[in-house]
Structure 1
């Protein structure tokens, strides 16, 4: 390996590729990279960030370190990966967590040598700015990544399995009746924010990797695109006992349909024909945007399943008629609130959660149920 000092910052050089921090000048190329590398499946989709790659990063972490590989022969962008840092609850204490995400590599550069050296570069970044723990998710259908990145191959950091995170897409179709529970559900107001933050931190402390929030986060773009009245509160005797937000991010993060494959080639026309005579929102043509909202800030006191079912049903009813295709939730396979998703027609999706080890010793975890915020994936 060869190292060069560029503007007082060391970058690692390997044949034809350099690895370095991305800058605003890379924004257009980064957005093109996302458009050109869809995630394959029945509905192949590209996770886009228009009009700005960097502005969209704010919802995924308090800090965002975006790293790119560039071809030294052409200057073309070969790949991108990001490290999102934020305070989180680890074993009940507030520690620094880094979430590794958004790995995209152009097809011509997908080989083990490039991957190992990219992780060498990331290990250097950890040495300069360490985090207490790293997490990452790999889609359960992404067998290539599971065979390579998470396979403990020589030269790659160890990935330690932390279970399956379900991220179902709840289809928004016909209206459903309310679910009764020992609580009332209402929209939040700005006067509730302090209590919401206190409630979330108290509940999230019981889970592993859950984010820690500050009141100031409402004003620093951590909640970009979320309106206060998009947060719904379950209350009993005037006290908050549950929260759930309906967070639309299409203004800065989009899911674009690249192609319909397999059974979806004939399911899509049938679905759209049905939509003409119902309240369903037609699926977009190839190149169109899937309209969704995230079920965010999910928390219920004592993990009361009936309260969560009532809260989720209230939010679902609000979402119907907004022209959305589906709602995206996120709960770990061991989360006690997970059965509430079974009340809805859904497309099953999810990913395997891992902790990633860059130090010789791994921080010991005490077995709490992991939590991943759906809107920050």
Structure 2
């Protein structure tokens, strides 16, 4: 293991907010579109959406405190596993500054992670963009001090432009916004999704009371699919731009030259809008999806309503599914851009996968 004696890893504090925001800006996702995933203007607001109990660790040189070399969040959130509520640690927002690469900062962070895992549980989960697997260099390398990364499925994230419809027949469902009077039905729909591995343990009362875990959401942001008075499906539409942004830092030369004609084409025929360099993408997140018996026709009716009535011009709707989820098939006929990620379970001592029942697994893209 590299010598990490000069690297200090400590819990983040509110005074680190500016340095954390700066680190996110300094660690872009490279590609034909170079992106920065930001949390302006309060990093910790976004952290409280990803996890009910954030645990942010930062790394800095002992002789140069304040200039962050790396960070990671290993917060806790409640999920259903094998039908029962469980506390799961989630490793995310791992960032290593360019001047901190070479192994020491990563090793120091994972030494602190190992201590936390020994104290609170034997495994955690992580979702890593496929494009980041090689740059991060933490999967499948057998590095000393790192946990084992057990592959647990592939996730496809779809960005769907609005104002498109693929409905072939009247579903017979009424789609309407939820109200406080629907709190019990909404809770029941979320409870029935407990059969899906990884579905969050959501409490409507926390939503109504304004918990930071539901920042920016009202009960009216959830859409119910109803048969008569009975709700058989729900999906939320979550605008997170106030605390979570995806900003364009750079386009490759060929894409920069094509951006304006591409946007004109998208405006006329439908497609993803590419903002100018320095601007952010405009998108809404699909959230809290639960449909009776995982019925794809109910999901399609909800999706149709959201795309036609909620997504504005130059906006996209973001949703994600594990590739083996039967509900993922509903997206196939739609125009969309896709990103692919890998889901891992991390452990220092055993493979957690055999203890988890097989079956549809849920991913909440809005909390990644």
TM-based fold match above 0.5 = yes
Deviations along 1:267-320, one digit per CA (max 9) or x if unpaired, are: 312123346767878532111011111011112111111121111011111234
Instruction: Name which of 158, 165, 171 aligns with 1:176.
Output: 165
Deviations along 1:42-69, one digit per CA (max 9) or x if unpaired, are: 2221111111001121211110000000
Shift of 1:263: 4.9
> What's 1:207 paired with?
196
- The separation in 1 between residues aligned to 2:27 and 2:87, in whole angstroms, is 31
Q: Is the 8 A contact 2:38 2:246 kept in 1?
A: yes
> What's 1:155 paired with?
145
CA 108–235 in structure 1, closer or farther in 2 if over 3 Å, else same: same
Unaligned runs of 5+ in 1: 2-12
CA 270–119 in structure 1, closer or farther in 2 if over 3 Å, else same: same
> What's 2:49 paired with?
59
Deviations along 1:143-182, one digit per CA (max 9) or x if unpaired, are: 325742354433210111111011111123x443655214
Unaligned runs of 5+ in 2: none
Instruction: Name which of 253, 256, 265 aligns with 1:265.
Output: 256
CA 39–192 in structure 1, closer or farther in 2 if over 3 Å, else same: same
- The separation in 2 between residues aligned to 1:148 and 1:281, in whole angstroms, is 32
Q: Is the 8 A contact 1:91 1:368 kept in 2?
A: no
**Does 2:366 correspond to 1:338?**
no
Instruction: Name which of 107, 124, 131 aligns with 1:141.
Output: 131
**Does 2:364 correspond to 1:373?**
yes
CA 181–252 in structure 1, closer or farther in 2 if over 3 Å, else same: same
Shift of 1:125: 1.6
Shift of 1:187: 0.8
Instruction: Name which of 88, 109, 128 aligns with 2:79.
Output: 88
Q: Is the 8 A contact 1:96 1:132 kept in 2?
A: no
TM-score by length of 2: 0.91
Q: Is the 8 A contact 2:271 2:335 kept in 1?
A: no
Q: How many residues align?
A: 362
> What's 1:356 paired with?
346
Alpha-carbon RMSD: 2.2
Moved more, 139-148 or 294-303: 139-148
Give the alignment of 1:271-282 within 5 angstroms: 271-274=262-265, 282=273
**Does 2:64 correspond to 1:74?**
yes
CA 107–243 in structure 1, closer or farther in 2 if over 3 Å, else same: same
Q: Is the 8 A contact 1:31 1:53 kept in 2?
A: yes
TM-score by length of 1: 0.89
Q: Is the 8 A contact 2:273 2:314 kept in 1?
A: no
- The separation in 1 between residues aligned to 2:86 and 2:246, in whole angstroms, is 32
Instruction: Name which of 146, 170, 175 aligns with 1:185.
Output: 175
